[in-house]
Amino acid sequence: MQYRTLGDGDRALEVSTLCLGTMHLGTRTDERTSFAILDRFLEAGGTFLDTANNYNAWGAGHGRDSEDLVGRWLADRGVRGHVRVATKLGAAKKDPALPLSNTPPTNFQGLGADVVAREAHESLRHLGVDRIDVLYGHVDDRETPLAETVGAFGKLQAEGVVGLSGISNVALWRVVEAREEALRQGVPPYAVVQQQLTYAYPTPEVDRHSWASPELLDYAASTGVPGRPSLAVVAYSPLLQGAYVRADKPLFGGYDHPTTHARVRVLHEVAAELGATPNQVALAWLLGGAVPVVPVVGAGSVEQLDEILGAADLVLEPEVRARLDAV
């Protein structure tokens, strides 16, 4: 396992370059299997977990099932001080009687100061910790003044409740504005942004703000210098929910187009030549890019996790990367 640093100065965190997503742990994946997956990740050197306050509200859960399971595992294994945990708030149900929806009319709690404070403290309780290492706004909230949201995250950091703040599913200009607002307020700016990113590219759409665009990666690469605090990019859905290796998995969210099909073919060719799997090559492509990202990987079994872990130390030679990039 490799490691990298998120954040700057006394707030800096060292995390594994693979982050284990726990969305389905405790619901779709039973507790015994979930604990085995977490144990194997830890054994392999994994130190970074990702959850949220609404996992898995749209499935068989109440919304904090993942946080609860992670909390039980941290306590049972006695590793609260060894593992870094990221969670999210703002996209849980505003009205519990209505379905959770990410299309208008949405039913998100939003990122008002009261929601940020209340939900962060609830996450502390469910996780059984006294500090959240990384706290994300799950979905950008344009109905709340940016200064209010930024101030609310800054207050939690000043209180020691949160280490690093972050934002997810957001337009680049909003990230930049929020970071500038944080500097104006004298609070730590967002240090992490979590967006969708994988080897394939989605079709361009005006309102597609959840994708880690080349512009975002370029902006992140410019940070970490005096006057510009570092910004790390974390990538969710890096394996397209299994679509690289399973014909029964549809290419969702604008990924079903000729370039993706061509990329998948080359991905399989390269994987066969390297004696790796397409999933491992896709993750290695993300890990070894000009702007390295931290993939959030999910697994429903220890066997699936072992395949993913094989990408941690897989290095793609320049000619292999050039071949993948050329498609």
Question: Domains along the chain?
Answer: 3-243+287-314 (3.20.20.100)
CA distance 212 to 125: 31
Lookup result for tokens 């977490």: 38
For residue 103, what pLDDT is reported?
A: 77
Lookup result for tokens 């931290």: 294
Lowest average pLDDT, out of 4-13, 58-67, 106-115, 269-278, goes to 58-67
Condensed to tens digits (0 to 9), the pLDDT of residues 61-81 reads 778 999 999 999 999 999 999
Decide: 320 and 314 in contact? Cβ < 8 Å. no
**pTM of the full predicted structure?**
0.95
Condensed to tens digits (0 to 9), the pLDDT of residues 260-295 reads 999 999 999 999 999 999 999 999 999 999 999 999
Mean pLDDT over the full length of the chain: 95
Q: What element of type H or E holds 126? A: helix 113-127
Lowest average pLDDT, out of 15-29, 42-56, 96-110, 194-208, goes to 96-110
For residue 102, what pLDDT is reported?
A: 72
Nearest Cα residue to 2 out of 45, 37, 59, 35: 45
Q: What element of type H or E holds 266? A: helix 258-274
Residue 146 confidence (pLDDT) above 90: yes
**84-89 and 48-50 strand pairing:** parallel
For residue 247, what pLDDT is reported?
A: 87
For residue 67, what pLDDT is reported?
A: 97
Decide: 314 and 284 in contact? Cβ < 8 Å. yes
pLDDT average, residue stretch 189-213: 95
Look at the chain and count its residues. 327
Reported as a pLDDT band with limits 50, 70 and 90, residue 41 is very high
For residue 56, what pLDDT is reported?
A: 84
CA distance 225 to 194: 21
User: Cα dihedral angle (206, 207, 213, 219), rounded to 10 degrees?
Assistant: 100
Q: Show the CA angle centred on residue 71, arms to residues 68 and 76, nearest 5°.
A: 125
Condensed to tens digits (0 to 9), the pLDDT of residues 147-179 reads 999 999 999 999 999 999 999 999 999 999 999
For residue 96, what pLDDT is reported?
A: 83
For residue 252, what pLDDT is reported?
A: 85
Residue 104's Cβ-count burial label (10 Å; 0-12, 13-18, 19+) is exposed
For residue 204, what pLDDT is reported?
A: 87
CA distance 264 to 78: 41
For residue 60, what pLDDT is reported?
A: 73
Residue 55 confidence (pLDDT) above 80: yes
pLDDT average, residue stretch 9-17: 95
